[in-house]
Chain A
Amino acid sequence: MSQAVRDPDSVASASAGDEDRGQSEPGALGRLLALGRVERLGAVYVLIGIIILFSVWKPDIFPSWTTAKSVLNQNAIPALAALSLVVPLCTGVFDLSIGNVMALVSVTIAWLVVQLGVPIGVAIVIAIAMSMAVGVLNAVIVVVIGIDSFIATLGTGAVLLAIDYLISNDETVTNGHLSTAFGSIAQSSVGGVQVPVFAVLVVAVLLWWLLEHTVTGRRLYATGFNEEASRLAGVRTKRLRFLGLIVSATVAGIAGLLLTSQIGSGSPDIGPAYLLDAFAAAFLGATQIRAGRFNAPGTIIAVLVLGTGTAGLTIVGAQAWALSLYTGVVLLVALALTRIERKQVRAGRTLT
């Protein structure tokens, strides 16, 4: 019906446009082809390139189900950390406290289970509730009081770190019960793929659904792109930013929980290391699928590109500096390419 409605005469005032769009509505195949364009999925081609490179380099070790499983299992926690950032970043808010939230959950669970002998289920509930409370605290400071999110969450992160040390006495806490009973949560697997990988899938699908298919998702993006215009259009931008910070703390809490289970002990040092890679993946992810928008599938692809490359480099015996260099270069190149491309798009299309 209105599908085919395209009357070339009535659009005289605006159609001084340009380029391709000859066919008005692409069919299913067209949409599939459009999805495969380099600008949207550049990182997937990079990923394929990496896999081929290392498969040729180490044909006996790299191209195996074992490698694939270990890449997936090892990158589940980094993926959760990166996904936790997507919602607040959409609204233009940074959350630098996620690493410390992960550590907080870790030491809290260890303390409850090991020192106080609290049942595991109760400990989990308390830990997740704590992470949500941190989210509310962040939101009050950033949204209600109005301190810039970058510096505010840096501050709460430092406070959380202090609490982490207080609870744990700066020691890694574990016992048999924690490492076996609690450890079995993340260490149980289906065909070698561990539970955290499935948690990543669930979170990613939920985020994708939220951002792509709900009104709230569209408003989250609008808030991040132009807060004032969104506010004047009736969007409750403060509420969305509040929500975003709660989401990031909660997902980080889940990541901390699974990480604690994976290593079977509680430690104040495990969280913060994930922060920078999480931001790298979220920003690299924003150059994929929905160019310019933070999104869940793009973030997953980004984690895989970074994780697979790192795994390959490790297999060929690269030093630590090479791994860090790889992450940095991939991130910078992707961001630079996106920037250049957008400039060209703007320059080319600023007609009419």
Chain B
Amino acid sequence: MAQPQVDTASEHLNGGKKPALRIEHLSKTFPGTRALDDVSLDAYRGEVLALLGHNGSGKSTLIKVLAGFHRPDPGAEAWLDDDPLRLGDPDDAKRHGLRFVHQDLGLIRELNAVDNVALTIGYVRTRSGRVHQGVQVSRTQELLAQFGVELDVLQPLGDASPVERTSVAIARAMWDWDQGPRVLVLDEPTAALPSREVSRLFEVIAKVRAAGHVVIYVSHRMEEIFDIAERVIVLRTGRVVGRGLTSDQTPAKLAALIAGHSVEDGRHIGSAPPLGGVALRIKGLHGRYLRGIDLEVHRGEIAGVAGLLGSGRDELPYAVAGAVPSSADAPWVLDGREVPTPTSATAPGLGIAFVPAERDREGLVPDFTVAENLTLGALPELRERGMFLLPRREHNQARQWLQDIGVGAETADRPVTSLSGGNKQRVLLARCLYTNPSLLVLSEPTAGVDIGARQALYELLRERARLGLSILLCSSDTQDLVEACDRVMVLRNGQVAETMVGAEINAERIVFVMESVR
């Protein structure tokens, strides 16, 4: 597990400049996982620092610590212009001029730019206490003009373009930027932007940089880094694995750093060749992001799907499970039979089981016990004589299943919310598996699941595949794809950009292909 620390540029290659934001020895431990491990970070005025890393790399934990949402483990130190910064204290972060624009922007789409801005910076009132609408409007216009944003400030932001909304969010976060130095943290601002709008966003960011503020820029898209960032820092499993000037880097080098080499270790090579014929064949699958994907999953195969947000990777599992509407050029072929496009109600009957991405929101019923969550998918099988559900029989079955999947029979009557992420995922998997599906569709199966539990999940999936289950595994975590899958399709712009089979599957290549623009 020994990881060579790949410092691609020494910290002193900074032209004698002094970092404005300095963080040292930052660790953050959650029960069961170490999200950040002795991270240090330097960011300079008038520069953009790109923060890279995949899901679970600790990126978002780092941002949350900066914002004061998480308290770091003792020993962490931070300074802003030599002034100590108390990490984990939201008020102190605000006082030091740390400003955040999160991925969802935090704007209210029903309100216009004037009100959205005023919610943060306050309203101008007349003496009688009325909102001074005229002053308010001109103040908002002036603020947006400073960032080169032109839009109708009186129309609801829902009608504005995505890049305009992002710009408004940035302007709102930096509204008092002329009153002192600021640190602007942008969390994947381009994730939801069409690529042609990215350059407009970069003009806004360039203005912030030119004014001498610090910008920390989190992104998945490789090309952008080279366009906008002076420096780059790469996190993997909570540790800094690379840092330095962007000009010293190449996309391939960064992809290697992000993906890491260690993933090769866990690789299961010699994956069994597909046992039988085609379990599922869809020709020309179209949806919101999907643009004519030809999908085939073989019997006994674990087929992986990679891709960035918006590439169709998120949508594909939902479309295959019938949870979102989709269209195809020809009827689906499932186990050799032509079937109508499933809905989530008909999918179980067709032998398609689904584990959705957001475990708590889309998977579990929080007010149900563990046993009730487990049996939700298999209720018809537990039914005896007409409509009766026998509590004793259901309970015994549930205990047996819980035992089998290693969650423990004694958890049956506990609230499902008391389980860990990994165990919740096992309960969901078991719910699916005990209906004996022919196709299992998984979306983000290891999100929030710690390392040890991951291996157990992979093992469970492989074992099921050996028994003939076909699995479609869609994940933003390359580790899942490399360690569990027999074949990986990389999606880009709603189409399959590349397919890798067996030993060709390689984390660097996956990252490189999905983050290319072509």
Binding site for B on A (CB under 8 A): 2-3, 5-7, 10-11, 13-15, 17, 21, 24, 212-219, 221-222, 225-226, 228-236, 292-293, 345-346, 349-352
| B48-56, B61-69, B379-387, B476-484 - interface stretch | B379-387
Give the shortest distance, in Å, between A255 (CB) and chain B (any CB). 25
Name the B residues within 8 Å of A3 (CB-CB): 396
* B337 within 8 A of partner (CB): no
Complex contact B388–A15 (CB within 8 A):
no
Shortest beta-carbon distance from B217 to chain A in Å: 33
- Checking B347, B348, B363, B408 against A11 with a beta-carbon cut-off of 8 angstroms, the contacting residue is B408
B368 at the interface (CB under 8 A from A): yes
Given A2-B396, A234-B347, A11 contacting B431 (CB threshold 8 A): no
Residues from chain A with Cβ under 8 Å of B419 in the complex: 14, 352
Pick from A10, A214, A216, A225: contact of B406, CB under 8 Å: A10
How distant is the Cα of A146 from the Cα of B406 in the complex, in angstroms?
A: 42
13 residue pairs of the A-B complex, CB under 8 angstroms, read A3-B396, A6-B409, A13-B456, A14-B423, A17-B414, A24-B410, A215-B387, A217-B389, A218-B372, A219-B376, A226-B361, A229-B365, A345-B415
* Residue ID in chain A nearest B352 by CB atoms: A234
Picked from A24, A216, A293, the residue with its CB within 8 Å of the CB of B409 is A24
Flag if B387 contacts A214 (CB, 8 Å). yes
Residues of chain B within 8 A (CB-CB) of A225 are 365-368
Q: Which residues of B contact A229 (CB under 8 A)?
A: 356, 361-365
**Complex: chain A residue closest to B423, CB-CB:** A14
Q: Decide yes or no: A13 and B368 within 8 Å by CB, A229-B362, A232-B344 being known contacts.
A: no
Smallest CB–CB gap between A31 and chain B, Å? 11
B493 interfacial by beta-carbon distance below 8 Å: no
Could you tell me the distance in whole angstroms from the C-beta of A117 to the nearest C-beta in chain B? 42
Contacts of B344 in A (CB 8 A): 231-234
Interface size for B (C-beta < 8 A) is: 52
Of A10, A15, A226, the residue contacting B365 (CB under 8 A) is: A226
- From A233, A345, A352, contact of B420 by CB (8 A): A352
Asked if B354 CB lies within 8 Å of chain A CBs, one says yes
B13 interfacial contact with A, CB 8 Å: no
B399 contacts A2, CB within 8 Å?
yes
Could you tell me which B residues sit within 8 Å of A by CB distance?
321, 323, 344-345, 347-349, 354, 356, 361-368, 372, 375-377, 379-380, 382-383, 387-391, 396, 399-400, 403, 406-411, 413-415, 417-420, 422-423, 431, 453, 456
**With A17-B414, A215-B379 as given contacts, are A222 and B365 in contact (CB-CB < 8 Å)?**
yes
Residues of chain B within 8 A of A216, CB atoms compared = 387
Contact of B388 among A214, A219, A221, A231 (CB under 8 A): A214
Contact call B411/A17, Cβ cutoff below 8 A: yes
B389 neighbours in A (Cβ, 8 Å): 213-215, 217-218
Q: Name the residue in B345, B377, B391, B408 with the highest tally of chain A Cβ atoms < 10 Å from its Cβ.
A: B408
* Docked complex Cα distance between A218 and B400 (Å): 20
**Complex Cα gap A215–B348 (Å):** 15
User: B418 CB to closest chain A CB, in angstroms?
Assistant: 4
Q: Report the Cα distance A207→B348, complex, angstroms.
A: 27
Q: Which of A14, A21, A226 has the most CB of B within 10 A?
A: A14
> Complex: how many Å from CA A56 to CA B438?
68
Q: How far is the CB of B174 from chain A (nearest CB, A)?
A: 36
- A292 contact set on B, CB distance < 8 A: 367
10 more A-B residue pairs beyond the given contacts A215-B387, A222-B376, with a C-beta to C-beta distance below 8 A: A6-B410, A11-B403, A17-B418, A214-B389, A218-B379, A219-B376, A229-B361, A234-B347, A349-B418, A352-B420
Contact A213 B388 (CB under 8 A): yes
Q: Which residues of A contact B377 (CB under 8 A)?
A: 233-234
In the bound complex, residues from chain B placing their C-beta under 8 Å from that of A349 are 414-415, 417-418
> What separation, in Å, do the CA atoms of A135 and B259 have in the docked complex?
57
Closest chain A CB from B431 CB (angstroms): 7
In the assembled complex, the Cα of A13 lies from the Cα of B391 at a distance in Å of 27
Instruction: Specify which chain B residues have a CB less than 8 angstroms from the CB of A346 in the assembled complex.
Output: 415, 417
Closest CB-CB distance, A30 to chain B, in whole Å? 13
User: Does B356 contact A10, Cβ atoms closer than 8 Å?
Assistant: no
Q: Are A215 and B380 in touch, CB under 8 angstroms?
A: yes
Contact A14:B406 (CB < 8 A) given known A218-B376, A226-B365: yes
Q: Which residue of A lies closest to B432 (CB)?
A: A233
Q: How far is the CB of A23 from chain B (nearest CB, A)?
A: 10
A13 engages B362 (CB within 8 Å): no
Contact of B363 among A2, A5, A232 (CB under 8 A): A232
Query: Are A11 and B420 touching (Cβ within 8 A)?
Result: no
- Given A14-B406, A345-B415, A232 and B368 touching (CB < 8 A)? no
Shortest Cβ distance from B426 into chain A, in angstroms?
9
State in angstroms the CA–CA spacing of A13 and B363 once bound together.
21
Determine how close the nearest CB of chain A comes to the CB of B355; give it in whole angstroms. Answer: 9
Chain B residues within 8 Å of A351, by CB = 418
